[in-house]
Amino acid sequence: MVQQISGNAKKSNNKTAIVTGGSRGLGRNTVLNLAKRGIDSIFTYNSNQTEAEKVAEQVRDIGRKAIVLQLDTSNISSFDSFVQSIGKALAELETEHFDYLVNNAGISHHNAFAQTNEEELDALYHVHFKGVFFLTQKLLPLIKDGGRIVNISTALTRIIMPGSCAYASMKGAIEIMTRYLAQELGSRRIAVNVVAPGAIATDFSGGMVRDNPELNKRVAEMTALGRAGLPDDIGPMIASLLSDDNRWVNAQRIEVSGGMSI
């Protein structure tokens, strides 16, 4: 049951985004770039509250508001209480609804198809598909009509890399779900798109692209623009996609990879 905010609550004209996995990597960069565009955030972390609070402080330094909430996106049973926490956070931000949802939280996986076991596949399914599906469903009553949703996929749904079958398959499911959501939420004027980053130098996958010079070089050689991606290549793009400048972009998969494997 979605918590209803009192009609006596103050209302703000500021826009608000919910970003899952906002304490590090692409999520962190997205939160900061939204702040630069004047957008407040409610963002989640899974285990590292200290890093999350640092991001919130950076947002405040920019002059915007950020509220940090803990969320394990694989724990579907926690979503009702999380939505109640969202309701309280929105009231703190002097609004009843949020404008943007960025489903970014994720886990990595590298294993050959023949060696991937049921436990590994289930973990990917719960975080990358089931969690996104039901969290979005639970939050629908709180997103404004005319709002926007961005789901994060991967260039690996197009570019075939050994050991990425299970991970990319879950992201492929998200890409299909996105098109269905765009159709079903069209009556509420909610646009839904997918952003598919290429190889980005973050701590994701143990920092393999960032910290492995050989892999970083190989990515650069297969990318038209001649380098691996950086968080600053993705966060501003997502913030831009959520803006009114892109209000007519809907049901699209937008790859942001610098031209990998073209």
- Catalytic center residues: 167
Nearest to 191 by CA among 234, 235, 144: 144
Q: Which residues pair with 160 in a beta bridge?
A: none
CA distance 135 to 52: 20
Q: DSSP readout, 126-184?
A: IIIIIHHHHHHHHHGGGEEEEEEEEEE--GGGTS--TT-HHHHHHHHHHHHHHHHHHHH
3-state secondary structure of 186: helix
Beta strand 98-103 pairing with 253-256? unpaired
Angle 84-1-7 from CA coordinates, rounded to 5° = 65
CA distance 246 to 146: 12
CB within 8 A of 140, min separation 6: which ones? 185
CB within 8 A of 110, min separation 6: which ones? 163, 164, 167, 205
